[in-house]
Amino acid sequence: MFAFLAAHRAEVFRDADYADLFAPPGLGRPSIPATQMAAIMTLQALHDYSDRETAEAVRFDVRWKAAIGAALDGAGFDPSTLVYWRNRIAKSQRPHRINEAVKKVAEQTGILRGRRRRAVDSTILADSVATQDTVTQLISAIRRVAREVPGAAEQIAAVCTGHDYGKPGKPKIDWDDPAAKDALVSALVNDATALVEALRPEDPGQPEAPAVALLALVAGQDEENSDPAVAGEFLAAEAARQDRCPAAGDQAAVAGAGPAAAQEPPAAGHDGDGRGHQDPDDADAGGRLAWYGDSAYGTGDLRDAIERAGHQAVIKPKPLQAPVKGGFTIDDFAVDERVGTVTCPAGHTVALSRTRIATFGALCRDCPLRSRCTTCKTGRKLVLHPRDDLLRAARRDWAATGLRKDYTAWRPNVERAVAQVATWRGRRLKLRYRGTARNHAWLKRRTAALNLRNLIGKGLTRRGGAWALAT
C-alpha cells in the first residue's frame, strides 16, 4: 500500500478533483496538497489511527513519508489539520470523493465485469464515546431538554423532584449504599417519565422534540421495573448497559443503539453503503443479480423489493416457530390469495380480513387437532404478510432448488468481508466520531482503503494511461 501510493497517489487522487475546496490561485494561504491529504486519510482509515497518531506517523514514519511524497525532514502538520479537511470535504457537493476515486479505479480494471452476486450484511461497531453510567446519562438528558426545548425549564421545576437539575454533576449520596443508588435511579427515572409526558405534543401526529425523544430512549433503555406490581421503583438494567445509546443528541453514535445499516462487503467496486455498484456489462447480461443475505434479511418487504427489481434473493429463510412444540406452523395452513381464504390442517376455512388476519376462533373449540395447533383460549389466529407468497416460496425452495448449497458456498466470503471492515489486526474497531453522518463518512473511507488494498494485492498497475490488474 505504501509503495503503491508513493508511485501512483497523484493518479488515484488527482489534485483537480479537490479544486472546488480551495480559493482561486493566488488567494488564501498555502495548504497541504490534496493528493497528499487524500493518501493520508486513506492510510488513516486503513490503519485505524486517531488524528494524533496519524500526524505522528506522517512526521516520524519513513513509510508514510514515502507514500505521500514528504521530505524526510518534513515537520508534518498539526492533528487539527485532519479535522479541517474532513469538515471541508463533508460540506462539499462530493462528500465521499475518496471512495469515488477508488471506485473509478475498480471500474477501469473490470474486476466486477460479469459478476452477478451482491451481498448484504450488518455488524455492530461500538462507539468510542466514554460510556456514561445511568445516573449521569439521565441527568444529562434532562438538562439537555431544559436547554433546548422552550418551556421545559418550567416543567422540570414543576414535575421533577428527584434532583436539582440546575446543578451539573452527580447528586451527593452514599455511593457505597446500593439502596441509596437504587432510590436515586428510581427518582431520576420517574422525573424523566413525568417530563416526557408533560412535553409530549397533544397532536399524536406531531413528532416530539429530538431532546425529548432522546430522554425517553435513555430512560427506557437503561432501567427496568424491579417489581411490575410496584409502580415507580426501578433498578439499572445491566443488560441494557452493554448496548447503551450515548447521550450525544438525536444523531448519537451509530453503534451502541443496534446493528448498523446493511453494508455491502468491500469487494472491489463496492462502497459499503448497502448499494451494489453495477458494472455496465451487468446490464448487457440482463441486469439480473443474485442477492445473498442471512435470515435477518429474509423479510417479505426486502424479498418483494428484490423481486420487483428483477433480481434473485438467495437469502436464508427465517425459521418458523409453532405455538405448540412440534405442532403446526403457518406453512401447514393453505392460503388462497385469489379468493382471500385460509384453510387450517383440520379443513376449516376462514376469510382473510382487510388487514390480512385469519381468525379461526370458535372453529378451534372442538377441533381434534387443537392440541397440536394452539394453546390460546380464543383459538388460532394468523397474521399474514402482504407478500406471504414470497415467504412461503422461499421456505419451500430453500433446500429443494439448491439455494441452501449456493448460499453456503458464498456465505464465508461475506463473513470475511465484514471482518475486514470491523476488525484490524485481531481487534474490534471502535467508531471515533459522534453522529451518523461522520461515521458514515468514515465507513466510506474505510471501505475505499480496503478495496484499494485488495486491488493492489491482485496486481493493480497502470497500463497505457488506464488501470489494470496483473492477475
| pLDDT digits 0-9 by tens, 135-157 | 888 888 899 999 998 888 998 98
Question: Concatenated DSSP letters for 23-85?
Answer: PPTTSS-----HHHHHHHHHHHHHHT--HHHHHHHHHH-HHHHHHHT--TT-----THHHHHH
**Residue 390 grid cell:** 414470497
CB 237 within 8 A of CB 224: yes
In the numeric block, the cell 493518501 is attached to 39
* Distance, CA of 420 to CA of 328 (rounded, Å): 42
Q: Please check the confidence at residue 198 and state whether its pLDDT lies above 50.
A: yes
Spell out the domain ranges in the chain: 134-241, 330-379
Sign of the torsion formed by the C-alpha atoms of 396, 402, 405 and 409: negative
Lowest mean pLDDT among 36-40, 264-268, 403-407, 465-469: 264-268
* Distance, CA of 327 to CA of 370 (rounded, Å): 10
- The DSSP element (H or E) to which 358 belongs, if any, is strand 357-359
* Distance, CA of 125 to CA of 111 (rounded, Å): 29
Nearest to 138 by CA among 174, 187, 208: 187
| 3-class DSSP assignment, residue 383 | strand
* Distance, CA of 216 to CA of 232 (rounded, Å): 15
Q: Please check the confidence at residue 225 and state whether its pLDDT lies above 60.
A: no
Residue predicted with more confidence, 434 or 299: 299
pLDDT one-digit tens code per residue, 292-327: 988 888 899 999 999 999 999 999 998 888 899 999
Q: Please check the confidence at residue 206 and state whether its pLDDT lies above 90.
A: no
Q: Looking at residue 131, what is its pLDDT?
A: 53
Return the amino acid letter for 311. H
Catalogue the long-range contacts made by 279-285 (C-beta closer than 8 Å, 24 or more residues apart). 279/107, 279/110, 279/112, 279/113, 279/114, 279/115, 281/113, 281/114, 282/112, 282/113, 282/114, 282/115, 282/116, 285/114, 285/116
Nearest to 289 by CA among 265, 307, 268: 307
* Distance, CA of 143 to CA of 214 (rounded, Å): 12
* Distance, CA of 252 to CA of 433 (rounded, Å): 9
- Mean of the per-residue pLDDT values for the chain? 82
Q: Looking at residue 51, what is its pLDDT?
A: 94
Residues 6 or more apart whose Cβ sits within 8 Å of residue 98:
13, 38, 41, 42, 89, 444, 445, 448
Cα 360–Cα 365–Cα 369 angle in degrees, nearest 5:
85
What torsion, rounded to 10 degrees, do the Cα atoms 371, 374, 377, 382 define? -150
**Residue 9 grid cell:** 497517489
